[in-house]
Structure 1
């Protein structure tokens, strides 16, 4: 039975009064793009941890609609529908929004393995250098910063507007190699187990990650998130959560046995905290600075 308009209005007013009385502030966070999309689970848990560390009464709430990366940027910039999002960085995005310059994923977003068609492993056996990689066709989302990074390194990249379409395009032989972060590739391969495998030989690396970003006017929210993250870094709870989500995936990647192709990232800004070794994962130097 539908509640009368006045009753619904009264409920909303009571909820608003309760939030004011208790000091609770709702922070809207992006809704997953599709059912079963867990790519933002860790970031949401990290944000919750940051709020817990400062003893705040922020309450995270999912947005009403799902949206792409670029739509998230537009909504934050306009001050609509979401208040904070884990946004992969670029100079343009950092100029349009207010970033909290602590890499959410310790730079693992820049450690890439490849999804390929089952049976195509031999195609990559001789690939050892960037020049070799240029002989293959890769793909990314059209509004992903990774696309600009790969193209800046001379790599042949095709794009698609839909995340889901990229998997279909790979199966249909529209390209050869789909670079995915270590954080997400295992779930994606499991969802396409009949047709796709993780290429066992290569790893791509560029200094790159996502930051929590907010509207440029939300300075207090940004300060609170930064303070919470810094406290979580200091007491080890940031690393504990990171290992909880990604430790096994990093071990499964066996980066130490792979040929690592280093790529330059022209999107890095002067604010990139590359001098803080504890913020970046690099298996070659533990948590050392990957600069």
Structure 2
């Protein structure tokens, strides 16, 4: 038997609908875990989220993060909502990437952090083969590990924070860091690790990109970050933000890139799915003198 029309119920339902539609939308929670000072990536995340126009709330959690594997596990366990990392096939298969290079590909321009007493040893290095006589210290599970191994470079995996201490105490390792990471990191540590120094004439170079990654089920956050990038590249404001950021400007000024010997490395592990990122998201090629690698 069909249900009879009830005008009171209809009015009640309409009132609930109008009340629901008039409620303000809830902010999107964005939980992060990164305790490092002088962090461009966190500044970039806030920039693109602001630019996206969404209502969001950035929440700093208390999770200690010592390795990339732990960051990924925290994300997959829904304990945090976004991480930044150098992209790999494994990460792109397990997480949801925002395929815009946060540092415009400069993460593939690598400088070496060393104990300053060993600078004379590195002064003798002009080819990749000569660099193979030294050993890199790299974080556990970092994309660089498989890239360096494929290039025949010696390496030792260690916990990120321990590498700085080991170098300071007299290790002969070199620590490969992104051009835009190394100086802010050193700024935060030099007051208590006084023997650290940026090696003064080499730069490694290979194709790489840092993406923001979210949980595979968090399409809303991926869309918001992507929209922030889209809008800020459309009006060129991301370029203005990027090249005028104090850490970026200081890094370019200190690195003296055009005077460095560039050792090029192939990256056979760059994900095929990210090969077609539009050129506008990458930095342009610069005129630097490439050293012979043989």
Give your verdict on TM over 0.5. Answer: yes
- Identify the residue that residue 234 of structure 2 maps to in structure 1: 234
Bigger radius of gyration: 2
1: CA distance, partners of 2:32 / 2:68 = 10
* 2:103 equivalent in structure 1: 105
Query: What secondary structure, in the 3-state scheme, does the structure 1 residue paired with 2:63 have?
Result: strand
Q: Is the 8 A contact 1:139 1:175 kept in 2?
A: no
- For residues 108-162 of structure 1, the C-alpha deviation after alignment (integer angstroms, 9 at most, x for no partner) is 21111111112322111221111111111111112211122111111000111x2
Which among 254, 262, 267 is matched to residue 260 of structure 1?
A: 262
Instruction: Provide the residue aligned with 2:30 in structure 1.
Output: 28
Structure 2: unaligned runs, 5 residues or longer:
1-21, 289-294
Does structure 2 retain, via aligned residues, the 8 Å contact 1:27–1:82?
Answer: no
Q: Residue in 2 aligned with 1:182?
A: 179
Cα distance between partner residues in 2 of 1:279 and 1:62: 28
Q: Is the 8 A contact 2:68 2:140 kept in 1?
A: no
In structure 1, distance between residues paired with 2:127 and 2:284: 19
Match of 1:171 among 168, 171, 178: 168
Instruction: For residue 31 of structure 1, report the CA deviation from its aligned partner.
Output: 2.1
CA contact (8 A) 1:30 1:66 kept: no
Aligned structure 1 segments of 4 or more residues deviating by more than 4 angstroms: none
Residue 51 of structure 2 contacts residue 232 of structure 2 at CA under 8 Å; is this kept in 1?
A: yes
Q: Normalising to structure 1: TM-score of the pair?
A: 0.82
Identify the residue that residue 3 of structure 1 maps to in structure 2: none
User: Which residue matches 1:4?
Assistant: none
**In the alignment, which residue of structure 1 is the partner of 2:202?**
202
Specify the SS of the correspondent of 2:120. Answer: helix
Task: Give the structure 1 partner of residue 8 of structure 2.
Answer: none
* Contact 2:136-2:173 within 8 A present in 1 as well: yes
Any conservation in 2 of the 1:101–1:271 contact (CA below 8 Å)? Answer: no
- Give the alignment of 1:35-74 within 5 angstroms: 37-38=36-37, 41-67=39-65, 68-74=67-73
1:212 corresponds in structure 2 to 212
What's the CA shift string for 1:43-84, capped at 9, x where partnerless? 233222223333211222112323232112112223x11111
Q: Which residue pairs with 2:13 in the alignment? A: none
User: Conserved in 2, the CA contact under 8 Å of 1:205 and 1:260?
Assistant: yes
Does the aligned pair in 2 maintain the 1:51–1:228 contact within 8 Å? yes
**Aligned: 1:271 with 2:273:** yes
Residue 251 (structure 1) aligns with: 253
The Cα shift of 1:223 comes to 1.9
Q: Which runs of 5+ in 1 are unaligned?
A: 1-19, 287-291
Are the aligned partners of 1:112 and 1:179 in contact in 2 as well (CA < 8 Å)?
A: yes
**How many residues end up aligned between the 2 structures?**
261
Greater displacement, 150-159 / 167-176: 167-176
